[in-house]
Chains A and B, each alone.
Chain A
């Protein structure tokens, strides 16, 4: 294994290699590549990127996010998606093409304070992110425990091909909906197991960059099961 390289904003990563392209959180100054965030360097054939360890959620098209309805107009809902931009969920997305502002009441479907799972349909620098709930597993979330973690830790929580989150789900017999924006909902029949799952999630968040994390979380979860 190659040693991990930890960088701070401004740190020089590579100098004088024209084949390496700057990818996420890397900037090019002349023939030098510098980091723009606190994080871990990843060099691949495509280029250099830095996996950040802090920061807010910036929407990306296709992301699953969990948001809270904070306002609605005659035509759309405004959704807080734990980002610096408000999510925009048009009523047509829910009511279909035949939507009529005079006939249909938006509060019949989602009211202020409701929590929804949705996907980012469109987003660019000029407009707020456009959301959709028209897919399976999307829509209102009526029960469960909501947990917020740092959005930068979400990839670690999911793990390689979902290994970490699947392990937590299996060992606690809970279902965890993970929003890329750092909002999670834990559902399961047993209240104690839900709490254990939340504990495991917090453990992953705190130790996201440490070694053997999966092992330690597994040990913790199995320890709880033995103690029962």
Chain B
């Protein structure tokens, strides 16, 4: 396991145990969607589009007391090294489901009875931790769409690599490491809305891993905030005459 973790505690991509990969989030990248976002999380590149709340078709799917949340996580054929069949795989169906379940507690679906909210997560390029990046971006896109939310959802993984608990597992660490634990977290309400674990951890390691993942979620949350603030409030209070008002003919 020395390949994944050096003697000095440096990981395969040069990070320390508590370091996240570089994250960049952009809001409102798609004009035709009601809300959208783009995230780069390490080598992950993901676009999320939100449509709705809107009428439900087919109508029998509508719920009389709340909105229906539909999520689709999809990897584009060129998102991985060998072409991926674009049909939804077992893995994508699972991730679509857990994404929906991670987002549902954050949304006030009761405010929109008889409607549907569609969330499309398209992975353009994949690395480890794309489900977390997808959930993070989806929550930003939902806020951009103006859906009533109890909180944003930030997601980040932690795991065990080379015998150490580390945050934000990348692709190689996921494949060769000992454990991977994706966590989605509502930062203000302090609730966990997704917790999966692939691998083996002792009870102490489990606790440490969960705390580290939540810590990572809080860092991701601050980046979500920054992206939304930039989109909505960066032009605030600039005052008049700043758009070429002084140009004379």
Residues of A near any B CB (own CB < 8 A): 4, 6, 8-12, 25, 27, 29, 34, 36-38, 52-56, 58, 84-86, 125-126, 152, 207, 209-212, 215-216, 219
Contacts and interface: CB of A to CB of B under 8 A. Distances in A.
Contact of A37 (B115, B148, B188): B148
Contacts of B55: 84-86
A48 B79 CA distance: 46
Contacts of A12: 188
Contacts of A10: 106, 149-152, 186-189
Contact of B146 (A38, A86, A219): A38
Contacts of A209: 232-233, 235-236
A37 B146 contact: yes
Given A212-B239, A216-B241, 14 more contacts: A6-B229, A9-B148, A9-B150, A10-B152, A10-B188, A10-B189, A38-B232, A53-B146, A56-B53, A84-B115, A85-B114, A126-B113, A210-B235, A210-B238
Nearest to B112: A84
A126 B149 contact: no
Given A38-B232, A212-B239, A216-B240, A54 B115 contact: no
B240 A219 contact: yes
Contacts of B235: 207, 209-210
Contacts of A125: 65, 113
26 contacts: A6-B229, A6-B232, A8-B225, A8-B228, A9-B143, A9-B148, A10-B106, A10-B149, A10-B187, A10-B189, A27-B150, A36-B149, A37-B143, A37-B146, A38-B143, A38-B228, A52-B146, A53-B146, A54-B143, A54-B232, A58-B112, A125-B113, A126-B113, A209-B232, A211-B239, A216-B241
Contacts of A4: 236
Interface string B210-249: 0000000000000001001100110111111100010000
B149 A53 contact: no
Given A9-B152, A10-B152, A34-B150, A211 B237 contact: yes
Q: How large is the interface on B (under 10, 10 to 19, 20 to 34, 35 or more residues)?
A: 35 or more
B108 interface: yes
Contacts of B144: 38, 54
Contacts of A85: 55, 114-115
Nearest to A218: B240
A151 to B, nearest CB: 9
A145 to B, nearest CB: 21
Nearest to A216: B240
Contacts of A29: 189
A84 B65 CA distance: 14
B236 A56 contact: no
Contacts of B240: 212, 215-216, 219
A36 B108 CA distance: 9
Contacts of B187: 10
Nearest to B114: A85
Contacts of A52: 146
Contacts of B228: 8, 38
A54 B150 contact: no
A4 B233 CA distance: 11
B145 interface: yes
Can you list the 9 inter-chain pairs with the closest CB atoms, starting with the nearest?
A55-B146, A10-B151, A54-B146, A9-B149, A10-B188, A84-B53, A84-B115, A36-B148, A212-B240
Contact of B64 (A38, A55, A126, A219): A126
B52 interface: yes
Nearest to B146: A55
A56 B113 contact: no
Contacts of B115: 84-85
Contacts of B53: 56, 84
B52 to A, nearest CB: 7
B148 A25 contact: yes
Contact of A84 (B54, B143, B236): B54
B146 A152 contact: yes
Given A84-B55, A125-B113, A219-B245, A210 B149 contact: no
Contacts of B241: 216
